Copies of this chain bind each other. A is one copy, B any other.
């Protein structure tokens, strides 16, 4: 363990990663660089500086990555209408590649030969951090303390803190939560506690970002979302940067009880786990994006996107953002978004995010053809006969030769 000289740690400023700082210094006898990022988790990141300093850290990185996070990760993912296992909007998964990238960039800047993180050995996040790390710096040493140390209970962790003079009070609030939580601009997640029983309903006071549908206003809120090339660029006609879009939609979505989700999902490491998620803005964005696509995408590219989406979601969920297959899929997806521009009008009401209108200068909706009224010859109904006859030909031949048809 003596071969590590300097390690960059993804440092939240919380108790666990503070212990890791100390444990790395002690166990590997190495320098620790801390990296703390604001990706919209809703907590101040600046306090991490004093805590790191108190732990003897000399190189401290604290960064606001909110815009980059939404622009380069969340938005590209939403262009694909990405949903994992029919339900999950990948809020945690999509933040990890950015953290991994910055860990490696900082390692390169500071001459570190290792990176470290506070994810456990049972979850998906260790995979996402480490696949990213290896993909971007193949010779990097990865240290995953939770897979190595013996501080496997809260008691042992506390004893370690006392022994090493790590102040524990600052994390008291988090300690009280019975849930394991993670948050960024896209969502907040809850695992553990009573959620480990899939039959048990989540307690109402668990949720933090949204009111319950019951507690939401009795009047609906309408919003108009303007898309350009697949991304939202304005809300109610006012231009916003990517992270501002998501902040605003989180606010209005959460206020209207939108975006709560309670699922059992399949982890990449092979087990099922139960998780609850609040994704107010993402829930609105997904429906709105599908709506603007419904007007502006060709049918066949839309269907092909739908067929590729589960694979794309799996790639991201499993941690392969920094991979050739993700770039390949992204190239296909982005090719389709050139004309995905226009405005979607949504009604938000007590948990419902409903599309009520959509319009676009790139619209492929042709009223003169679609109409139930007289179309003045825009569409020749007689064409349908040949269309059906030839599409039926293979079926007719088979039936004519006595093939079973039912």
Decide if A307 touches B307 in the complex (CB within 8 Å): yes
Given A294-B272, A391-B127, A85–B198 Cβ distance below 8 Å?
no
Interchain CA distance A59-B91 in the complex, whole Å: 55
A295: B residues at CB distance < 8 A: 198, 264, 272
Decide if B394 touches A299 in the complex (CB within 8 Å): yes
> Which chain B residue lies CB-closest to A383?
B386
Interface locus among A15-23, A31-39, A167-175, A199-207: A199-207
A192 contacts the other chain (CB 8 A): yes
Q: Which of B81, B138, B383, B385 contacts A86 (CB 8 A)?
A: B81
Which residues from 300 to 349 on chain A have a C-beta closer than 8 Å to any C-beta of chain B?
Answer: 300-307, 310-311, 314, 320, 322-325, 327-329, 331-332, 334-336, 338-339, 345, 347, 349
Question: For the complex formed by this chain, how many copies does it contain in all?
Answer: 4
Interface locus among A41-49, A106-114, A226-234, A365-373: A365-373
| Minimum CB–CB distance for A118 against chain B, Å | 14
Which residues from 179 to 227 on chain A have a C-beta closer than 8 Å to any C-beta of chain B?
Answer: 180, 191-192, 196-202, 213-214, 218, 220
Interchain CA distance A309-B305 in the complex, whole Å: 13
Decide if A363 touches B401 in the complex (CB within 8 Å): yes
| Minimum CB–CB distance for A231 against chain B, Å | 18
Q: Which of B126, B265, B297, B363 contacts A388 (CB 8 A)?
A: B126
Interchain CA distance A174-B93 in the complex, whole Å: 50
Q: Which of B300, B305, B374, B400 contacts A138 (CB 8 A)?
A: B400
Which residues from 258 to 305 on chain A have a C-beta closer than 8 Å to any C-beta of chain B?
Answer: 260, 262-266, 269-274, 290-291, 294-295, 297-305
Interchain CA distance A191-B372 in the complex, whole Å: 9
Interchain CA distance A202-B347 in the complex, whole Å: 12
Decide if B134 touches A294 in the complex (CB within 8 Å): no
A159 contacts the other chain (CB 8 A): no
> Which chain B residue lies CB-closest to A403?
B339
Decide if A307 touches B311 in the complex (CB within 8 Å): yes
Decide if B394 touches A383 in the complex (CB within 8 Å): no
Interchain CA distance A323-B398 in the complex, whole Å: 10
> Which chain B residue lies CB-closest to A257?
B352
Interchain CA distance A290-B262 in the complex, whole Å: 12
Q: Which of B196, B389, B396 contacts A380 (CB 8 A)?
A: B389
A2 contacts the other chain (CB 8 A): no
Decide if B220 touches A367 in the complex (CB within 8 Å): no
Decide if B196 touches A372 in the complex (CB within 8 Å): yes
Given A122-B379, A269-B384, A391-B270, A311–B304 Cβ distance below 8 Å?
yes
Q: How many residues of A contact B (CB 8 A)?
A: 133
Q: Which of B301, B320, B384, B390 contacts A324 (CB 8 A)?
A: B301
Q: Which of B201, B213, B406 contacts A350 (CB 8 A)?
A: B213
Decide if A138 touches B366 in the complex (CB within 8 Å): no
| Minimum CB–CB distance for A167 against chain B, Å | 24
Decide if B398 touches A298 in the complex (CB within 8 Å): yes
> Which chain B residue lies CB-closest to A127?
B388
A325: B residues at CB distance < 8 A: 298, 300-301, 304
**Which of A87, A305, A399: most chain B Cβ within 10 A?**
A399
- Which A-B residue pairs are the 9 nearest by beta carbons? A386-B386, A121-B381, A270-B393, A266-B299, A383-B386, A138-B396, A134-B392, A331-B335, A332-B332
Chain A interface residues toward B at CB < 8 A: 81, 85-87, 101, 120-122, 126-127, 130-131, 134-139, 142, 144, 146-147, 152-153, 180, 191-192, 196-202, 213-214, 218, 220, 260, 262-266, 269-274, 290-291, 294-295, 297-307, 310-311, 314, 320, 322-325, 327-329, 331-332, 334-336, 338-339, 345, 347, 349-352, 354-359, 362-367, 369-372, 374, 379-401, 403-406
Q: List 10 A-B contacts (CB under 8 A).
A: A127-B388, A134-B388, A213-B349, A213-B350, A272-B370, A298-B398, A304-B325, A362-B401, A383-B390, A384-B386
